[in-house]
Each structure stands twice: as structure tokens, then as C-alpha cells.
Amino acid sequence: MARGKFITFEGGEGTGKSTQSRILTARLMSEGRPAIRTREPGGSDGAEALRSLLVEGRADRWSPLSETLMMNAARRDHLERTIAPALEQGDWVICDRFADSTRAYQGAGGGVPAEFIATLERAVVGDNRPDLTLVFDLPPQIGLERAFGRDMFEVRFETKDIDFHNRLRAAYLAIARDEPGRCAVIDASGTEDEVAAVIWRTVMDRLAS
């Protein structure tokens, strides 16, 4: 059986990743491509337990280094229990955030050295790299305005200052620029239908064969 496809959705707060990951998963399934939707931190029982520690509470609840270690612990469990088995059985895996979020949030945003994050990523992710990463781009102020009003228990990162969010945006765009074979930047300022159409074209162009 052919390995499934692994697509990750990345970007700052309020860019619409979660909504668009649901839309893409549903469309893949409607066209006869088995697909699962998952998220980080989370996606497995162990990782979901860590999620509440990471995304709830005060902005300064954890240091960036502590966040990096917990994110990677959650990621490894997620890979072992959810992502890798699904890919092995031929499913498409649509994941709302993955390793690039650690590079952006804890690295560029929090100041954890890139070399340390890269070493952990090699150990934790290994060969389980995404086939395609969709980087949702939106001015941070607009994204934050969208984000507030969602699940108010999970606003720990949203409450960080605007400079933090500007660093996130710059980091994501740098990742996309440095890895164009894997990444595609998605303008997240359009309507839900407009963004969904761009995503579908991108996925079909990159992975349908």
C-alpha cells in the first residue's frame, strides 16, 4: 500500500488554519481520498493532556525552553500513535500545526536557539516530514482581532505582545522562503471560500499525482 500524504497547516493566531483544515479534510474524503484531521499540540491522548498545560493560563506560565521540551514530547506521542500509523495505511493526514510552529513560536518568538530546536526536531520527527506545508499569512493585528472571541480557555499565546506576533510572521515567511519545495504561502486575507479554493489548487498541483 502506498504511503499517505502528510499536509501541515502553519501560521500565526487567527489566520483560519483550523477552519481550512476541516474544509480540506472533508473535500479529500468526498473525492474518495481517505483523510484524517489532527492538531498540535494534541492529536493523541498523551499529547492532548499536554495541550491544556501549554495553551491555557498566563502568557508567562512556562519559559520558551520548557515549552520546546513539552511540545516535542507531545509531538513524538502524536507521531507514534496517530500520524505514522495513518500514513502507513495510506491515509492523507491534515495537521493543524507541526514542527514549524516550534521553530516560530519558541524559536523566533521565544528566543530558544535554532540549533537546539533543530537537534530536537531531527530526533523527534526523523523522516516524518510533511509532504506539503501551507503557511497562512496575515498581518498579526488582523489575526489577533479574529482570534479573540474563540475558545477563551486557550488564549495563552494570543496574549503575548505584538512584537512576539510580528516575529512569528517573519519566521514563518522565512521558513517558506528557505524551503519552497515543501512550503506554499497562503494569503489568509480572503473569504473562507476564496482561501479554500487556493488551498485545493495548491494541494492538487503539488500532491495529486
Strands laid side by side in the 183-187 sheet: 35-39, 92-96, 6-11, 132-137, 183-187
Give the residue ranges of the chain where pLDDT is below 70: 149-156, 209
pLDDT at 154: 59
C-alpha cell at 68: 520546546
- Residue 135's closest CA among 163, 87, 98, 83? 98
The answer to pTM > 0.85 is: yes
Q: Point out which residues pair with 183 in neighbouring strands.
A: 133
CB 206 within 8 A of CB 132: yes
pLDDT at 64: 95
CATH topology of domain 6-207: Rossmann fold (3.40.50)
pLDDT tens, 62-108?
999 999 999 999 999 999 999 999 999 999 999 999 999 999 999 99
H/E element, 96: strand 92-96
pLDDT at 150: 59
CB 120 within 8 A of CB 68: yes
Domain ranges of the chain: 6-207
- Residue 100's closest CA among 159, 18, 182? 182
pLDDT at 55: 85
